[in-house]
Amino acid sequence: MKRTRRACDVPDATIHRLPLYLEKLKLLQAIGVEDVSSRQLAESLDIKASQLRHDFHYFGGFSRPGRPYQVDTLVPALEQIIGISEPQPTVIVGAGHLGQALANYSNLEVQGFPVAGIFDVNPKLIGLEIRGQPVRDMDELEPLIRDKGVRIAILTVPSANAQNVADRLVRAGIVGIFNFAPMDLKVPETVVVRNERLAVGIMSLSFKVKCIVQGSSGRTRSLDD
Amino acid sequence: MKRTRRACDVPDATIHRLPLYLEKLKLLQAIGVEDVSSRQLAESLDIKASQLRHDFHYFGGFSRPGRPYQVDTLVPALEQIIGISEPQPTVIVGAGHLGQALANYSNLEVQGFPVAGIFDVNPKLIGLEIRGQPVRDMDELEPLIRDKGVRIAILTVPSANAQNVADRLVRAGIVGIFNFAPMDLKVPETVVVRNERLAVGIMSLSFKVKCIVQGSSGRTRSLDD
DNA sequence: TGGTTGCTGTCAAACACATAACAATTCAGG
DNA sequence: CCTGAATTGTTATGTGTTTGACAGCAACCA
């Protein structure tokens, strides 16, 4: 009698590792590895084996005690947990450089997120074909989302328009927004936003670079240049 | 007598917030706001004021007790902490779709990371101008890094080449690598890598979307479709 | 069969981080 | 000059995550 799995009450930190597990496991699967121990898998990801087992423990029962994990069991299990057992059609709103780059990023489809539509307001972009998909007018946004049951949207529009577009997406039924605009979106509780800020990434890198460069004093030659 | 600031012994979580603080403060600066309390700033970022003060406390003395923060003091202080008092010239290696998108991302320069060079192996791309910069042959990589004292590199090459390029970057003196290839780079301890994995982002989003959709059962109509 | 090894699931301790609490400080106004 | 309100710097508390430890199971081998 399986009790309802609390499969959603999981720490963020664990959630962020699931894709890494899946990626590595798919790699193992591709080269024909059949089973893998928590130690092997953890070492290849540079984390502790206990952490990996602890992560898996949230979902329970990937292996029988005493036996290593079966790659062919784990891959579909993780896909199911992440929610990509079935491909998740995804729309990209904003066909500027970044939007185009993402639309061209073939891995998206491989990972389970086929691009169902690309949208922009710019008439010059509308009709442009990207990997077989035309850039569409924003008028088609809501119908396409509804018709194809799209739940995830990638937002690559300028900050000034981001909230406006986000509102439209939410009304059309989008549940998850992958937001590349450097701007906090206000959305209902029933919608998830993940902000991807390049500025945060490169600045935290810069912080650490500064620390390294200053730390290894004596080689700060290029600093005084 | 200022003791040597332990300015580098700071939690990652705090480091990641520094760019957000800076961003918001620059915005305030732009509209002429002169001072701001920890509460105001924190609320606009949807965090607790105590956390903000705690973060600032690592670096000490941004304000006198009893007085709110001065925007014009805080902005340069944060810039100095993050390491962008002086612009940090940055190279982009890999002029594919993503590399081009980043090269076109004008914010990079505004944020303090002017693009010093764009590189690719593909002869068809070499010479292509992006925002006034030609895509350069990889032969020019090391000389340019050395000549301009570049310390930060953005890596947007295919996974298969990523380690190879990373090795070259490290030998040429790069200290921080912003890695967009879905691959773990091996680098010396004196080099920082920040991995930006789109797959992780969209998959953790998908996880939460699945939780929301399943949670609000009764509306799972589109699931059984 | 019995012992040994390697493995997972699970719990407990250690650690890191976020939040709350509060003393100390500044300024405004009577 | 004194009081009160607003603010920060700093310490204490609480929460969440990581790490370590170990019992129990499965396979292998003598």
Question: Are A147 and A173 a contacting pair, CB within 8 Å?
Answer: no
- For the stretch A162-173, pLDDT in tens is 999 999 999 999
* Order of all β-strands in the sheet with B115-120: B129-130, B133-137, B115-120, B90-93, B152-155, B176-179, B192-195
Q: Which two tokens stand for residue A173?
A: 């039924």
Average pLDDT of chain A is: 90
Chain A nearest C-alpha distance from B88 (Å): 8
Q: What is residue A3's predicted lDDT score, i.e. its pLDDT? A: 35
A16 touches strand D (CB under 7 A): no
Distance, Å, B45 CA → D2 C1': 38
Say if A190 is an interface residue toward chain B (CB within 8 Å): yes
CA distances from B207 to A121, A156, B215 (A): 30, 21, 12
Nucleotides of D under 7 A from a protein CB: 5-12, 16-21, 23-27
- What digits encode the pLDDT tens for the residues B191-203? 999 999 999 999 9
Q: Considering Cα of B191, then A22, then B199, then B18, what sign does the dihedral take?
A: negative
**Residue, of A217 and A58, whose pLDDT is higher:** A58
Q: Which positions of chain B have pLDDT values less than 70?
A: 1-6, 216-225
**A69 torsion bin: left (phi>0), alpha (psi -120 to 50), beta (else):** beta
Determine which of A54-63, A136-145, B13-22 has the lowest per-residue pLDDT on average.
A54-63
Cβ–Cβ contact A213 with B under 8 A: yes
Burial class (CB in 10 A: 0-12, 13-18, 19+), B40: middle
Residues A176-213: pLDDT tens digits?
999 999 999 999 999 999 999 999 999 999 999 999 99
Most B CBs within 10 A among A18, A206, A211, A225, hence the mutation to make, goes to A206
Question: Which residues make beta-bridge pairs with B91?
Answer: B117, B153
Two tokens, residue B185? 């780079």
Q: CB A204 to CB B97 under 8 A? A: no
pLDDT in the model for residue B216: 62
Does nucleic acid strand C have an atom less than 7 angstroms from the CB of A70?
A: no
Cβ partners under 8 Å of residue B99, min gap 6: B92, B93, B118, B120, B154, B156, B157
pLDDT confidence tier of residue A6, bands split at 50, 70 and 90:
low
Segment A118-132 mean pLDDT: 96
CB A221 under 7 Å to nucleic chain C: no
Backbone angles phi, psi at B116, to 5 degrees: -90, -15
- Average pLDDT score over residue span A5-33: 90
Q: Which pLDDT value is given to residue B57?
A: 94
Cα Rg of chain B, angstroms: 21
Please give the model's pTM, rounded to 2 decimal places.
0.90
Residue ranges with strand state E in chain A: 35-36, 69-70, 90-93, 115-120, 129-130, 133-137, 152-155, 176-179, 192-195
Whole-angstrom Cα distance, residue B4 to residue A144? Answer: 59
Query: What would the mean pLDDT of A36-61 be, rounded to a whole number?
Result: 94
Bases on strand C under 7 Å from any protein CB: 6-12, 16-21, 23-27
Burial of A65 (0-12, 13-18, 19+ CB in 10 A): exposed
CB A218 within 8 A of CB B26: no
Please answer yes or no on whether B201 and A198 come within 8 Å at the CB atom: no
Structure confidence at residue A50 (pLDDT): 96
A79-97 pLDDT per residue, tens: 999 999 999 999 999 999 9
Residue B142 burial (10 A CB sphere; 0-12, 13-18, 19+):
middle
The structure tokens listed for A221 are 């030659």
